[in-house]
Amino acid sequence: MVLECKHVWEHISGYLDGTLDAAVLEDVQKHLEHCEICSAILDSTRNILILTADERVFELPLGFSERLHARLEAEMQGFSYKPRGSVEESDG
């Protein structure tokens, strides 16, 4: 089956995730072989996903870790989990 460009676009996500049915995948691949526009759309999408997944996109603020662990430390003071196997208090 010959796919039009706009039908190929519907499969970009599935193509990148490798979840397309074998038949659809074959049609998409055939289309990509001769369509530079769809190939460029696919390449740019893949590239953008690699960039957005990079941990440098969102930087931790200075001192984030220190403030977090200080707050946790304060929470831990006097904190204890209920002993294993204990039942909710029913009297009192």
Partner 1 sequence: MDREAMTATSENRNEAQMIASILAGNTHEFHDLIQPYERSVYSMALSMLQNEADAEDAAQEAFLKAFRSLEKFRGEAKFSTWLISITLNEARSRLRRKKTAKTESLDELNEGGHVSPALLRDWREIPSEALERQEVRLMLQDAIGDLPLIYREVFVLRDMEDLSVNQSAEALGISVAAAKVRLHRARLMLQKRLAPQLKQVMPKRRWFPWF
The binding site for Zn ion (CB under 5 A) comprises 5, 35, 38
Q: Which is nearer to partner 1, 26 or 72 (CB)?
A: 72
x-or-dash pattern for partner 1, window 28-67, by CB under 8 A? Answer: --------xx-xxx-xxx-xxxxxxxxxxxxxxx--xx-x
Q: Do 28 and 3 meet the contact criterion of CB atoms below 8 Å apart? A: yes
- The three-class DSSP label of residue 88 is coil
Element (H, E) at 63: none
Q: Do 31 and 8 meet the contact criterion of CB atoms below 8 Å apart? A: yes
What's the closest the beta carbon of residue 39 comes to Zn ion, in angstroms?
A: 8
| Rounded distance between C-alpha atoms, residue 89 and residue 82, angstroms | 11
| Residue ranges in contact with partner 1 by CB under 8 A | 6, 9-10, 12-14, 16-17, 36-37, 39-41, 43-45, 47-61, 64-65, 67-69, 71-73, 75-76, 79-82, 84
